[in-house]
Amino acid sequence: MFILRFVNEDDDLSVKEFTDLSQVNKFIKENDLEKSWHQIEEIKRVVPNLKDEN
């Protein structure tokens, strides 16, 4: 999962979630965000190892 933070038209911070990076890039291009502030964060799911080590 990816989280995109960007400044919207009203100069407010907006946050959107995407399932893959290509969707993020498409959204950035469609909304002309390349030249404005934006941040992409990748969220990785961690599955705990529940196996007993004994």
End-to-end alpha carbon distance in the chain: 34
pTM here is 0.76
Query: Does residue 23 have a pLDDT over 70?
Result: yes
In a domain, 52, yes or no: no
Which residues is 40 bridged to in the sheet? 4
Number of domains in the chain: 1
CB atoms within 10 A of CB 25: 15
Mean local confidence (pLDDT), 37-45: 93
In a domain, 27, yes or no: yes
In a domain, 36, yes or no: yes
Q: Name the band, by pLDDT with cuts 50, 70 and 90, for residue 54.
A: low
In a domain, 11, yes or no: yes
Query: Which pair of structure tokens corresponds to residue 51?
Result: 């196996």
Q: Can you tell me the distance from the alpha carbon of 18 to that of 48, in angstroms, rounded to the nearest whole number?
A: 24
Query: What are the strands of the beta sheet with 2-7, ordered from one edge?
Result: 13-18, 2-7, 38-42
Mean local confidence (pLDDT), 2-18: 95
